[in-house]
Amino acid sequence: MAPRMRPPQVHEILIALVFIAMAVLDPDQNVPEMVLVLLLGALQLAEVRLPVLETKMRAVAWISLKLALALWLTWISGDVNSHYYLITLLPVISAATYLGPLGTFVFSVLAAISIFAFLLSYNWDTTDFLIEDKKRFALNLLFIVITGQLVNLLAEAIRAQSTKYKAVADQLSETNRQLREAEAAVRRSERLAALGQLSAGLAHELRNPLGTIKASSEMLSRTVAAENEVAREVSGYISTEVDRCNSLVSRFLDFARPLEVRLADADLTQVIDRSIEMVAREAKEREVTIYRNYAPDVPPFPMDAELMERVFFNVIQNGVQASAPGSSITVKTRIAGPMAETSVIDRGSGIDPKLIETIFNPFVTTKPSGVGLGLAIVTKIVDRHGGRMTVESQPGEGSVFHIGLPIHAEPQLQ
């Protein structure tokens, strides 16, 4: 969809009216002169509405065209006697606005020399050109040069202020982004704390009845007659499901249990390599290739290597399980400011945009048999390292999980 053209501003309308008045009030009512005046007006207005002066080369070409038209208008309207020769100020002012001091000076002198050159073809025998007229003419040429430099000084000051304001705006934008991330992290931490307490209480309450059921199942298995296959099979089912529930309760407790982070200098690539080795068998079975793209400038830094292996294992395993046979995963590291960032890039099915904001919350999962605690625990570990974890995803195109860890790490309070 093409961008909508903004409506004309008041000053643009006034400038257009002034150029029309100049063309209409031409004392000679010369059609070529009127056309050139209107064309110069159109070019002047186009400067602020079209991106024609984005580069130095385009600016030089555009200003040269305006200077040529201004000199042509001066030439056909009477040379040195032209009432239009001060219109050469238009390209000079454009040069002062879009070029530096040197470019402004070049175009100013070029305009003055071009007008002065008209004197060389002037017929001195047919017209009186008094010494006062010559002085006035020379002063006007100097006025063109000094006007260009003064406008350039003002334009440079405006550009400096604009650069300063842009830097402040960029800084405010970055600060706002960090504040939004911090607010999201706080909200997530509060949710995790509340859910952690709930999970801990629920897990402890479930452990006792599950133990009773398990013991009863084993007693039943030992006491039923050997020929009662149905009872033995049901007893086995009970025992298996109790074990599965116990495993789930253990995951609840892992999520709720306060993490003790033991920091020690470790090589990030070695930690990732150990995680890849743990998931290599499943990747081979699924025919998924794992590529490693490690930055050589990431130094060893403090982390809990055992916990971070768990983080990378979980994220890489998720990528393998989301990938189609024959596809690949890339694990990439780099320095990102004060962080060492690891990106796990898969080409799988992606994540529904509705789940992006909640993917790290407990009990949110895209797997049919998942319980949604894996990424919640992973995020908790990263948070305790003082790091951050984000995801980018497009449905049908894959996902990128970014794990940033501070190079100078201090464990965060629970």
Q: What share of the chain is helix, strand, coil (3-state, %, to 5)?
A: 65, 10, 25
Structural contact between residues 149 and 108, judged by C-beta atoms closer than 8 angstroms: yes
Q: Which two tokens stand for residue 209?
A: 């009845």
Which class is 188-256 in CATH?
Answer: mainly alpha
**Rounded to whole angstroms, how far apart are CA atoms 144 and 123?**
25
**Rounded to whole angstroms, how far apart are CA atoms 302 and 48?**
54
Q: Where are the beta strands (DSSP E) in 294-411?
A: 301-303, 328-336, 339-346, 388-394, 398-406
Amino acid present at 221: S
pLDDT values of the chain reduced to their tens digit, one per residue, 414 residues: 444 566 767 767 787 787 777 777 766 667 777 778 788 778 877 777 776 667 778 778 888 888 888 878 777 776 666 667 677 778 888 888 888 788 888 888 787 777 766 666 655 555 555 555 566 667 777 777 777 778 887 878 877 888 888 888 888 888 888 888 778 767 766 766 666 666 666 666 777 787 787 777 777 777 776 667 777 777 777 878 777 777 767 766 666 566 678 889 999 999 999 999 999 999 999 999 999 999 999 999 999 999 999 899 999 998 998 888 999 999 999 998 889 999 999 988 888 777 777 677 666 566 555 555 678 788 888 888 888 888 888 888 889 999 999 998 655 545
- What kind and span of H or E run contains 132? helix 131-223
- Predicted model pTM: 0.48
**Rounded to whole angstroms, how far apart are CA atoms 51 and 211?**
75
Q: Sign of the CA dihedral 85, 88, 93, 94?
A: positive
Write down the pLDDT at residue 82: 67
What is the CATH number that goes with domain 264-406? Answer: 3.30.565.10
Q: What is the pLDDT of residues 81-104, one digit of tens each?
A: 666 767 777 888 888 888 878 888
Per-residue CA distances from 226 to 24, 188, 219 (Å) = 116, 54, 14
Per-residue CA distances from 41 to 21, 45, 88, 96 (Å) = 11, 6, 12, 18
CATH topology agreement for domains 188-256 and 264-406: no
Q: What is the pLDDT of residues 115-136, one digit of tens each?
A: 766 666 655 555 555 555 566 6
> What 3-state DSSP class applies to 291?
strand
**Rounded to whole angstroms, how far apart are CA atoms 97 and 87?**
16
Q: How distant is the alpha carbon of residue 152 from its chain centre?
A: 33
Measured at the CA of 369, the angle between CA 366 and CA 371, to 5 degrees, comes to 70
Boundaries of every domain in the chain: 10-129, 188-256, 264-406
